[in-house]
Copies of this chain bind each other. A is one copy, B any other.
Amino acid sequence: MRVLILGGDGYLGWPTAMDMAAAGHEVLVADNYLRRRIAEATDSEPLLATPSLSERARIFRAVSGHNISVRIVDLSDADAMFDLVRGFMPDSVIHYAEQPSAPYSMRGFNEARETFRNNLDVTFNCIWAVKEIVPECHIVKLGTMGEYGTPNIDIEEGWLEVEHKGRKDTFLYPRAAGSLYHTTKVLDTDLLWFYVRTYGLRVTDLMQGPVYGISTPEADLDPRLCPNFHYDDMFGTVINRFLVQAVAGVPLTVYGKGGQVRGYLNLRDTLQCVRLAAENPAKPGELRIFNQLTEVFSVNEIADRVKAVGDRMDLDVKIESIPNPRKEKEEHYYNPTHTGLTDLGLKPHLMTDDVLAVMLERIIENRYNIQTDRIMPRVRWNG
């Protein structure tokens, strides 16, 4: 299968590219290094330096024999997107090419506009390039569980059957996200759904929870192949960030009451889910939505788990509640369905103490890279 990965330099894009190539697919990755530029500009570089995409592709070919083609290109430019798709004629497009930081998207007008334009324009161009050039191609789009927010009813898998005044219909599950970044993904979903039902495109929209992890079979072949591992307030997802805080001797910073519940998954499971989706495409005219998570935790539960494992490794972990920089419910109902990917064959890697301990060891090896001043929240939702 010819697999085009948009945003192939990212935390998930790069390991996905290696996983797909190792599975025998022909892989082309595209990226404009937007996340790298923002990370540099906001003093938020990852824990481990990551070589350029071309360099990583060379290293990966040397150690694995698998080829990954690389194109550095701005996909918010429609001509670039059309040229890319016309040149590669993909069977599957995996679309990660979005500015992924919620705090960055909430920092001010310029950051909001950059996030809004990049994310919407890339999705728009992707839809059109597929529709015009390879209409049978399957788009696998990375959405987020954050699109749903924290509703007071069970979160179904993308769709909701509503009975109202004795009549019934099925709708996209209502969405109400907590940041502009997450809201751009709500808008993406609306846009994809319009074009799917109007032109019969094939789309899988993956509502993914926060991902943790650094290790994948291919990333472990060479340290320079590891995904960009962020622990800062901009790009660091909460579990990764807590583990670094545990190693750095910085108290784990729980935002507010810590009762915020979310669905999480291991990086290895992201790769499984995306590959399962790509290898089992949606039907023409189908917007297939999966909730991509394996376990549900509150922030307090995660902090307690990290502390327990860290303390056993003599890290003396402290937990501290700080004022919540975000606008979100700190105690709420949360019950997401997530059976679709399991039905396709997902075998979860759960967040065991061993998994956390191995991650802590890797971070300890690189503890001298930790910059503690990029951990505390630098953006507040209320300005």
Contact = CB atoms under 8 A, between A and B. Distances in A.
Interface of A: 78, 109, 112-113, 116-117, 120-121, 124, 128, 132, 151-154, 160, 162-165, 167-169, 171-172, 174-177, 180, 183, 186-187, 190-191, 193-194, 197-199, 327, 333, 381-382
Contact of A190 (B132, B187, B194): B187
5 contacts: A109-B128, A112-B124, A113-B128, A153-B169, A160-B162
B194 A183 contact: yes
Contacts of A194: 176-177, 180, 183, 186
Contacts of A169: 151-153
A226 to B, nearest CB: 34
Contacts of A165: 153-154
Contacts of A186: 190, 194
A153 B167 contact: yes
A120 B381 CA distance: 22
B154 A167 contact: yes
Contacts of A154: 164-165, 167
Contact of A168 (B153, B160, B168): B153
A109 B126 CA distance: 12
A152 B176 contact: no
A333 B176 CA distance: 27
B132 A124 contact: no
Q: 10 smallest A-B Cβ distances: which pairs?
A: A171-B174, A152-B169, A153-B164, A183-B194, A153-B167, A187-B187, A151-B169, A153-B169, A109-B128, A186-B190
A188 to B, nearest CB: 9
The CB with the most chain B CB atoms within 10 A, among A167, A190, A194, is that of A194
A117 B113 CA distance: 12
A181 to B, nearest CB: 11
A183 to B, nearest CB: 4
A167 to B, nearest CB: 5
A152 B168 contact: yes
B176 A183 contact: no
A197 B381 CA distance: 11
Contact of A78 (B109, B120, B174, B190): B109
A7 to B, nearest CB: 20
A84 to B, nearest CB: 15
A166 to B, nearest CB: 9
Nearest to A162: B162
A74 to B, nearest CB: 15
A119 to B, nearest CB: 11
A327 B198 contact: yes
Contacts of A162: 153, 160, 162, 164, 174
Nearest to A120: B120
Contacts of A193: 176
Given A109-B132, A162-B160, A198 B167 contact: no
A211 to B, nearest CB: 23
A202 to B, nearest CB: 17
